[in-house]
Amino acid sequence: MQNDKKIELDEYWAEALRLLMESQTSFFLTWNWWTWKTFLINYFLWENKKRSKKQQKKVQMLATTWAAATLYDFWSTYHSFFRIFWETLWKVDSDQKKIMAHFDTYIIDEASMISASQFDLIDKRLRQVTKNYDTLFWGKQVIFVWHLFQASPVVTEATKNQYYELNHERYDDVYKSIFFFDAKWYDPEFFKIIELKKTHRTTDIQLQTYLKYLMLWENLDSVCKYFNKNYKEPHEVNYEKAVYIANTNSKVDKYNAKKLQDLKDSWAVIYTSTAKHWNWDVDWYWRITKEPSPLEIRYCIWARIMFNKNKENFKNGTMWTIVWITTVFDDFKNSDIEAVEVLIDWEREKTIVPIETWQKFEAKLTWNKDEDWEDEVVHEIVWSYIQYPFQLGWWITAHKSQWKTFDNIICDIWCISYKDDFTWEWVKKAVEHIVYVALSRATSYEWIQLVQHLTPKAIAVNKDVKEVTQKLIK
């Protein structure tokens, strides 16, 4: 595996860490690409655990999708924790109110996916806990971790219609845009903005400069000229160890299946793994339709795979190749379970990967008899999902690539930027910033390959996001 780089604690890191450790100040944490913001949060959680029980902050980590929440222990989604369903708040009992009051700090990852109306609902829920309507978030420390030029909120017409039925106001009349900075209760004076600036993905200053131009929709002619130097004719494309970034799941599934079939036609035997789950329907109305790993995975020896779970020997988004199908002994089940042996191409390192379990945790209120029967909050497992922690990895969509890093990428810019088969407004918005997302996955300018020329017409940026981001991090 690639060695971890040494972290340099710059002034922005230090300020964010100080606010997390020593204050109850709410703030927005934003970042340039690959500034190790996840490491910062994990470092805070680790340092917080080392404190005495009285000094420890009570922290609840929240994600915007449950698939993201299952990557880590004890995370939840903000929907299920705050009991938010579409555009309304579900009734909560006294125990649930105590749980919400229990925590000092809430950290919401990928908060750019939170819409304006959802931001207001989180605030409303926290104010309701003790009927304190005068203080934003009831005085709790809420840290929003976001990058507006990546994942954006999805507000469908059905969502807007439900909002109208509940509030008797048109969504578009209440909110200037779908983004949180246009929420009714968003106050830029209330939140401190910290931008992590040091990039660890690459030391190529020129690549960083042009990606920033691309992100902010500036100097587009120069940007296109710079990246088009890496345009490749079909016979020039180097497919070895490269990830092909496309625009739709159907296209990715089609070409991944074709690559797998090519291996089968050569000699390989195709295996199929079907997921198992326990208590799957719990909180069904708060989960999205995508499983953390595919319900059915087809694979064979020499198939390229991409991991979708963090473990000691592999990380979410890393690329490996299956070299053997085997079994391992599971101490917990006291029996053999299926596993694959995989090889990481660039370091020739092998590891065994067994079937994994994803778990959804939910905060529950219990009694602690050792502490004079005081209320105590514990995290209980409410459902489990069992499957291999990978998917086929020759092709990937630009959206699913957002939290990943690749050494070698192939981008079809026009394919990524335009979805001619869709006309809904929210789908059109989904392709904004997508060229930036795709090109910023690479660690090196040398290994960005374009199979179509990049033109200014292919680059879409949300003007509201650009304007607000420039003001927030000026």
What pLDDT shows up at residue 373? 47
What pLDDT shows up at residue 289? 45
Rounded alpha-carbon distances, angstroms, from residue 163 to 154, 174, 288:
14, 10, 19
Instruction: Note whether 220 and 466 are within 8 A (CB).
Output: no
Angle at which helix 205-216 crosses helix 220-228, to 10 degrees, equals 130
What pLDDT shows up at residue 337? 66
Q: Left (φ > 0), alpha (ψ -120 to 50) or beta: where does 86 sit?
A: left
Instruction: Note whether 309 and 356 are within 8 A (CB).
Output: yes
Element spanning 174, H or E:
helix 171-174
d(CA 299, CA 274): 12
Q: Which residues contact 34 (CB under 8 A, 6 or more apart)?
A: 199, 200, 201, 202, 405
Q: Could you tell me which of 463, 439, 464, 433 has the C-alpha nearest to residue 150?
A: 433
Rounded alpha-carbon distances, angstroms, from residue 84 to 54, 62, 90, 177, 283:
31, 13, 6, 20, 11
Q: How many CB atoms lie within 10 A of CB 239?
A: 12
Q: Is 448 helix (H, G, I), strand (E, B) or coil?
A: strand
Instruction: Note whether 46 and 59 are within 8 A (CB).
Output: no
Q: Is 127 helix (H, G, I), strand (E, B) or coil?
A: helix
What pLDDT shows up at residue 421? 44
d(CA 238, CA 244): 11
d(CA 69, CA 63): 5
In the chain (474 residues long), the average pLDDT of successive 10-residue segments reads 53 89 89 73 91 90 83 85 83 85 91 90 84 75 84 84 89 91 84 79 81 86 94 87 85 90 76 70 45 82 86 78 78 65 70 84 75 71 84 88 83 66 40 82 89 85 77 61
For tokens 């607000």, the residue is 468
What pLDDT shows up at residue 58? 92
The full DSSP string for 207-252 is: HHHHHHHHHHT-SHHHHHHHHHTTB--GGG---TT-EEEES-HHHH
- Lateral strand order in the sheet of 409-411: 395-397, 243-246, 409-411, 448-450
Instruction: Note whether 178 and 116 are within 8 A (CB).
Output: yes
Report residue 338 as tokens: 């299926």
d(CA 415, CA 401): 15
Q: Could you tell me which of 197, 167, 196 has the C-alpha nearest to residue 184?
A: 167
d(CA 19, CA 410): 40
